[in-house]
Structure 1
């Protein structure tokens, strides 16, 4: 039992000694911490945590450990400790404060977004008035570092207004002044500066405070007040003094105060004689300021002071770059090139290398440009200007005519390029390369792809239209122009050049596509004033001409004339003659032949391609004015002066026509023959020989006509008018009595030219000849062929009737009998008036001829009498009287004649003739009384008729 008690006492004393040791270590660390001995405090806290990580004071020890690291500016380690604290002791009472120190640590490490995030959380969770100002200050400082001045200003204003007595307030005021300065809030800056007691600003910020006030006054152009402050700051710390020197130097520079400038330079050089880097920076800034103010000599002076230092390797690349720009502005390119080459030998510089390449490119030294751009790409593959160098290398290849190299590199860059930087330019270049290689279609395809991706690139869309015009793809031009105007409804205000050139190209395309109304509307936009303003005055005359052409094709000749006359007031040599020609055409089309002739005459005198056609139309105008002799003279002159022109054959043809019309057939015939001799390939050659035959045929010179048509077939055996020549040659032969020769022509036409419009007539005419020779059978065959092959022509020529006639002729009838028989058959005998008349005529023929057909005639007459047509019946009845007369039955004949007299009383002549013939029959029969009675009836009813006179003679000679 005693043994156990001893052990317990031993353990208890050990625990007490350990606890005493733990407290001692922690207190020692705390003493070191609060005395500011952070390095030893850190070691003490570390030992404490190593001995007893489970102590109640472990969380606080780790927190203090983090603060020690923070104050020792070991911010990364501090962040690790703070992070571990919250993970190991999630419920520790310091977690909110950790946000503050973590935020400040992130600020000091340059991790500004994370700093803002941590400090914002702290401000949301803690209301400690001693720490909030610090949080506001550092969060705002992070905002300033990120150029987020609005947020920074909001925090700083809260700091200054709500915590004016805090230790952070003084620094906050300075940062707020700076923020106002950077955001252009100069009045707010000056107002705040007035409100603050200078004594409230910490000593170390006093110079900055004064500087920001001076800068605000400077920006407000209150240079005198600013100058006073700057002068007081010349002995301030370097970062403040250098600004003061620069501002005072600029002031002296503006005032052209060379003495003051020299004093400032001398004073600065004395002040910073042991601080070369500061002096170099001052010279550099002075040089840059002078350059920006276009004081190149002074800028060069300062920059050369730096360039002349022995150790050029420490010189900023801005020095040779600004010197280069000075030389470029003075057009001293060789000096600029030499300078950059010297610098690049001393030090690598991407900017200097690019500028050197750019200089070679600007001088069109493409070989050197290629070398340096290629060198840049090899040395700086990850540089931000890599894509730019690649594009410019491709462009240099392009200008160097190394088109294959340009094409290959462009494709490679487009395949591997990161982002959109210079993708647009490279795509555009692919089109230019294709175009330069003569691959217009490929260039058009590339540009179409490009504008699909970049539809807002107006110049590319204009280039696309130009290539399409070269390709004569007018429909695509019209389509693209419509899209262009839809995409840029205000283009006339945005880009006048694009507006004018697009309307112009669209108008020309519409003319080519015969969309004349639309073309006129498009070209109307190309006014003289706007064309000049767009530097496109050269196209204005063309737009006038083609607008005139559009009006001409629309039949609006007066409007066309107006445009063409305007064009002649703005002449373009290549359009003058075309305009004169078109003006003449407009007037000619309006029937103003005299005025048209003037323009054509003017153009005919020129030594141009338009002269022959103008001369031709001048002659045509004379013809329209009835001036045949003048027209003939002009035509003759044209074919004499310009025998090889495209209008010489037309002129000769027209000349022959004039001579033919004036009855000078020999001259006309010779002219037609001459046309064939001179211009055997002319489309008028055939017509000329054919016209020659027509001319003779019209004048009934059949022998000459036959010969002319023969000449045509001899010269043009397969000519388009050969069938006509055969037909009319046959007609001429018929007129000459050469029927057999005519048939030979027509038969050849019938067999060789089955599609000829003359073939039906040839069949008919040939049938007529064969019928005339008594060959009714072959004639009938020809007529039947005509009926079968040309039903319309057959109906018009009454071929069916002729076929019937030929059938009757084959039966032995005479031509007249056959014709009448055919007509009777077609009309159904006595059913129609024509049929009855034909029956009466055929019966008369048979009765008067006598013979075997008189009984047939009597039957026909009886059928006519039976019809209710008193006029026809009277005529038929009269012939029945004739029938009986010729059979010797005189009394019967007299009765039939007398009966005929009373059938149709509306026909007095037939009545009188019938009564006379009845009296004549009575006279022949010896019936004198009957004769007398009938003559008396004639005398009573028809006293003035010839038949009454004949009756009286009958009484005198026969009756008595």
Structure 2
């Protein structure tokens, strides 16, 4: 009996000792984890799991291992570990955190739909700290998915949880940025009235000032915004660059040429050792001059960027604006060479540049090249807002190249998709010409009869309609066409080319 009692006491002491050992191991791992020594902590968690597989600490150790993988940006590995914990260790005390961390992992991987699902699931967490983190990333996820109202609503809930607006700078920056992007200017100004900016870190304070300045700039409150941008010139390089660009545009719009030149000179001086930042400023200055119709000055800025920055790092807007200036000056071949050279090195603004290339090639009457470019555009950008315009250029190039049936098929597709009113009329006019070439006279006449009431100033269309009517010997239609043309020309007796031949004119009158 004594032996049994002694054995029992021995086993109890042994179990207590083992429990104490695994607890010490877990506590050490936790201390290392909270101290940021993740590699060392991971090794202690792994030792605990291997040596004490039945320990009540195993579930928590598994969770910590998943978090360490997350912190080390091993997101797929972390997500796989979290999924196993959900299946095998639902008793871990960290269980309610798992949906948030799953959402976080998917967010970092760019899988925003799944992240959104996880964050919405995690909103029911009991811990307020977890709910704050959930709302922060939920708002950012909604923003990435284009759900602006949802993002703003989540940010508002998060702001309402704060005792002091300045206690969470990341939250404050997100909320003010969302208000700015959604043009909630009054809410933004009201929020500024509640803030004690002196309590903020200087960098955060300047970022908040930037959002306020951007709101005023968008509302064209130039007098109020000027001192804010001048203050931002004392900030870090990113904010300074924005301030330089905005002040240059501001002084241009308000006609303050001397101040604009001062800003230009100061920017050149302060950004001289930063070629990419200087190029970005020159780009904005060039665009401002282009919009003001000062094309030679704009060109000099764009060409300076083109010469000083390696082509693969040049912003795609540079060749785009340069090509427009060249196109205006009739330098079509030069514009084509520049765009083609740029597209071989960079894909920035590729959609816009490819469209410009097709348009210029059609102006050059390089029909085969324009057709090939249009086909490539439609293949690469099926959802483009310029799809209708490229259909027109595609069909027109096929038509001028003699491929009338192919041109008609392309044009029909473009018309079926719908286009803006003016472009729709251009397509209708082109289709009438194609029908004429295909000797589908009735359809050509029908298109012109639909077209002319909507674009009465197209003299060539009256001529074409009269010629088509003559080929069908529809004398009443010819008479009606002449009458409507006279009405448009306000009673002019000279019909010019529309008179066609004297016998027809005599017969009609």
Under TM normalisation by the shorter chain, which class is it?
Answer: 0.7 to 0.9
Following superposition, the deviation at residue 219 of structure 1 comes to 1.6
Structure 2 matches for 1:20-169, cutoff 5 A?
20-123=20-123, 125-165=124-164, 169=168
Partner of 1:181 in structure 2?
180
1:164-209 C-alpha deviation (Å, 9 max, x unpaired): 4378743323222222221222222222212222245454421111
1:534-593: CA deviations, max 9, x gaps? 9x9999999xxxxxxxxxxxxxxxxxxxxxxxxxxx99834443246xxxxxxxxxxxxx
Cα contact 2:479–2:508 (8 A) shared by 1: no
- Label 1:459 to 1:330 Cα distance change in 2 as closer, same or farther (>3 A): closer
What whole-Å deviation, never above 9, does each CA across 1:13-67 have from its counterpart, x for those lacking one?
Answer: 6544433321121111111123333332233223222333332122222222233
State which of 365, 381, 384 in structure 1 corresponds to 2:381.
384
Aligned twin of 2:488:
532
- After superposition, the Cα gap between the structure-2 partners of 1:324 and 1:136, relative to the gap in structure 1 and judged at 3 Å, is same
Distance 1:133 1:224, change over 3 A: same
SS of 2:128's equivalent in the other structure is coil
Q: Matched residue of 2:54: which SS?
A: coil
Using a 3 Å threshold, how does the CA distance of structure 1 residues 493 and 158 change in structure 2: closer, same or farther? Answer: farther
1:115-174: CA deviations, max 9, x gaps? Answer: 222111111x22433332222222112222233221111111222234343787433232
Separation of aligned partners in 1, 2:414 and 2:381: 26
Q: Which secondary structure state, in structure 1, belongs to the residue aligned with residue 233 of structure 2? A: coil
Shift of 1:332: 3.1
Instruction: Tell me how far 1:530 sits from its aligned partner.
Output: 9.5
Q: How does 1:406-421 map to 2 (within 5 A)?
A: none
8 A contact 1:99–1:119 mirrored in 2: yes
Aligned to 1:327: 326
Show CA shifts across 1:244-298 (max 9, x none). 1101111222345444334323333343344333222222333334334433233
Assess, with a 3 A threshold, how the Cα gap between structure 1 residues 246 and 99 changes in structure 2: closer, same or farther.
same
Q: 1:342 to 1:34 in 2, by over 3 A?
A: closer
State the distance in 1 between where 2:324 and 2:49 align: 64
Aligned residues: 492
Gaps of 5+ in 2: none
Instruction: Return closer, same or farther for 1:55/1:31 CA change in 2, 3 Å cut-off.
Output: same
The whole-number CA distance in structure 2 between the counterparts of 1:367 and 1:39 is 62
Change (3 A) 1:272 1:73: farther
| Larger relative contact order, structure 1 or 2 (CA cutoff 8 Å, min sep 6) | 2
Q: Which residue of structure 2 aligns with residue 359 of structure 1? A: 360
Match of residue 573 from structure 1: 502
Q: Retained in 2: the 8 A contact 1:96–1:122?
A: yes
Do residues 212 (structure 1) and 219 (structure 2) align?
no
Contact 2:103 2:114 (8 Å CA) reproduced: yes
Given that 1:469 and 1:477 are in contact with CA atoms closer than 8 Å, whether structure 2 keeps it comes out as no
TM-score of the pair, normalised by structure 1? 0.44
- Tell me the residue number matched to 1:427: 409
Question: What do residues 46-97 of structure 1 show as CA deviations (whole Å, max 9, x unaligned)?
Answer: 3222333332122222222233334444444332322221121234443322
Q: Which residue of 2 aligns with 1:260?
A: 259
Using the TM superposition, give the Cα deviation of residue 227 of structure 1 relative to its aligned residue in structure 2, in angstroms: 0.8
C-alpha offsets along residues 630-677 of structure 1, whole Å, 9 cap, x if unaligned?
xxxxxxxxxxxxxxxxxxxxxxxxxxxxxxxxxxxxxxxxxxxxxxxx
Cα displacement (A) at 1:392: 6.1
Asked whether the equivalents of residues 326 and 335 of structure 2 are also in contact (C-alpha less than 8 Å), the reply is yes
Distance 1:156 1:305 in 2: 43
**Matches of 1:24 and 1:179 in 2, distance apart?**
47
Larger Rg: 1
Shift of 1:211: 0.6
Secondary structure of the residue aligned to 2:220 is coil
Q: 2: CA distance between counterparts of 1:83 and 1:459?
A: 58
Provide Cα deviations, 1:673-698, integer angstroms capped at 9, x if missing partner. xxxxxxxxxxxxxxxxxxxxxxxxxx
Deviations 1:874-897 (A, max 9, x none): xxxxxxxxxxxxxxxxxxxxxxxx
- How far the C-alpha of 1:353 sits from its partner, in A, is 6.4
Query: C-alpha separation between the residues in 2 aligned to 1:83 and 1:95?
Result: 11
Q: Provide closer, same or farther for how the CA distance between residues 93 and 9 of structure 1 changes in structure 2, counting only shifts above 3 A.
A: closer
CA contact (8 A) 1:181 1:189 kept: yes
Q: CA deviation at 1:466?
A: 9.0
Aligned to 1:290: 289
| Structure 2 residue aligned with 1:662 | none
RMSD over aligned Cα atoms = 4.8
**Unpaired runs of 5+ in structure 1?**
411-424, 430-446, 543-569, 581-960
SS of the aligned residue for 1:79 comes to: helix
> Does the CA-based 8 Å contact 1:531-1:537 persist in structure 2?
no
CA distance, structure 2, for counterparts of residue 524 and residue 392 of structure 1? 32
Partners of 1:120 and 1:539 lie apart in 2 by: 73
Deviation larger for 148-157 or 306-315: 306-315
